[in-house]
Structure 1
């Protein structure tokens, strides 16, 4: 079995996308430079055009800002398409890697978690994709350019620049605190959802028994408890997240009021122009807006961190043998079991304890016993689906642990205790391992 290094899967996933991310950063640089066009336009109109009645200057300014807005639109569209293509590649590569890993996990590992847990991992792929290619990626690309707007504000309106600078630490504190609190609340909400979904999956898996024995009333209290817990966690997370978002909006409003108030005093003192105040308000919004978004986006960052942790745990799980240790022609079928011991959980009595058995080729052997005596467990051990705690099982003298799952499945026919029909026709189910089989081969197998 192979155990990958922690996060060894993330580097190869992102490596082909680094040129695209560099292009996104380059486009963001020009987008943020072009964002200066409108505040400069407003500054010039109020301080030059209106004061000097320069209509020719106004026409030139309008033409220039129209060109800047056009280029801004083109760059934003190009950046969005670039992120969309990157999202498709992440979806395809990570989804395929996750499916391959899931298929390669040993049966005992798959049985150790509810079905809903494995399903949630595929939703984690969406979280990773949206973090690298969604609004959070745009926010991360735009945030460093806040320094550019601060420099411009100091140039055009130094008397009120410190008002905006003083608001930045408040937003950073809000973002940090909301992330710290929401990370735990989001994790609790997810665990409650998985617990509830696991019960639903259990009911649907045994729907025949549930309906035959009218167990709906018996399951209802369990469902209501788990559903209420999930609702409570979601309510708590939503209320806390909303409080931090509202706090961010209040700080934004107070910053605008403070900038305008101090700016008015500076205009009265003659150290600031009206155009500079309006332009500063616009540039201030370009600074405050990303930090305000950061407060709301921190929940998504917390979800991303948790999704990354779950996927890392998944990819770090040991998989089944991928290559055979020895080459073996199609076996004759002699099975030998020597001192076989297997327990489902540590500390519990073993389901099979010290079994010794030999099965010759061409014979017919019946294994009988009461429910829970280990008959199905023995079949899974012989198939190599479970690894024994001690002892060994050999096929034609070779330990079954040396062969791949595909080889063992090709050599041994197996009808599980609980058979399942997969999506498709009866023919599709018969030929599921060999979809290229002809109709005659399917009839012969049936």
Structure 2
């Protein structure tokens, strides 16, 4: 469904080009724009659901493999030297879970191109440029809001992660004593409690990050169609060419994509 709904932008572009420009009908343009907005909202809901499903898949992997991995770490010092026995398996599992829980694009190399794209849009028409600037400012504001809102949860999560790692490392260092004194099962029970607290905090944080990412993505898609609609209106008024209308829509999407990606980081 999400991939079908991703066709909203191209189909909207085609209908604007074939129907709106041919008939020069502003009401038709308004009706098509309203339909596109509704489809984008539906797409946003599905994207949010998919993001949360991926987060829970990562958590399920942790739940299924967490205890066997912990047992492996606790048994390593009994089978090999202490210098070789490290908590790497748990860190490896953490990397797998993080990979399954979200995307990790690098946008820093693309952001410097944003002013160039905006300048080209202003060459097409000032209205197109200012609409793109407004969209960029909203995305930047969304990025800053996500930073402010997520700063404390991310800090708490980092502290829990550190405590979790220290607990694991203490168990590794004292694995022989815990095994000899018959305390390994009790230590494992405390590990499950510590790990469960960490996973709950991480699930809430990932949900919040995913929500910001989905909102920014859907906003960018809707903005692309808004630029197309504005370009169509300018074409009807003979203030811009049909080619500029399409190029402006594509350029706006390309210019704002790095900001959207940055929100996810």
**What is the TM-score with the length of structure 1 in the denominator?**
0.35
Contact 2:160 2:198 in 1 (8 A): yes
- Please list every run of 5 or more consecutive structure 2 residues that lacks an aligned counterpart in the other structure: 1-85, 92-103
2:205 paired residue number: 237
Give the alignment partner of residue 212 of structure 1, picking from 174, 180, 192: 180
Among 163, 166, 175, the alignment partner of 1:195 is 163
Cα distance between partner residues in 2 of 1:217 and 1:282: 59
Distance 1:277 1:218, change over 3 A: same
Match of 2:150 in 1: 182
Larger Rg: 1
Alignment partner of 1:272: what SS? Answer: coil
CA deviation profile, 1:400-443 (whole Å, cap 9, x unmatched)? xxxxxxxxxxxxxxxxxxxxxxxxxxxxxxxxxxxxxxxxxxxx
Equivalent pairs, count: 166
Match of 2:227 in 1: 259
In the TM superposition, what is the alpha-carbon distance from 1:275 to its structure 2 partner? 0.6
Which one of the candidate residues 111, 136, 140 is aligned to 1:168? 136
Moved more, 216-225 or 244-253: 216-225
Unaligned regions of 5+ residues in structure 1, if any?
A: 1-114, 121-133, 298-446
Tell me if structure 1 keeps the 8 A contact 2:124–2:244.
yes
Between Structure 1 and Structure 2, the one with more helix by share is: 2
Which structure is richer in relative contact order (CA contacts within 8 A, separation 6 or more)?
2
**Runs of 4+ off more than 3 Å:** 139-142
Residues 157 and 277 in structure 1, CA contact (< 8 A), matched pair in contact too: no
Match of 2:119 in 1: 151
Once the two structures are superposed, the pairs formed by residues 74-89 of structure 1 within 5 Å of their partners are none
**Conserved in 1, the CA contact under 8 Å of 2:111 and 2:258?**
yes
Give the superposition deviation at 1:135.
6.2
What is the root-mean-square deviation in Å for CA atoms of aligned residues? 2.5
Q: Which residue of 2 aligns with 1:387?
A: none
| Paired residues of 2:153 and 2:205 also in contact (CA < 8 A) | yes
Cα distance, 1:141 vs. partner? 4.2
Structure with the largest fraction of strand: 1
The Cα of 1:169 is off from its aligned counterpart by 1.3
Q: CA–CA distance in 2 between the matches of 1:145 and 1:197? A: 40
CA-CA distance at 1:231 after TM superposition: 0.3
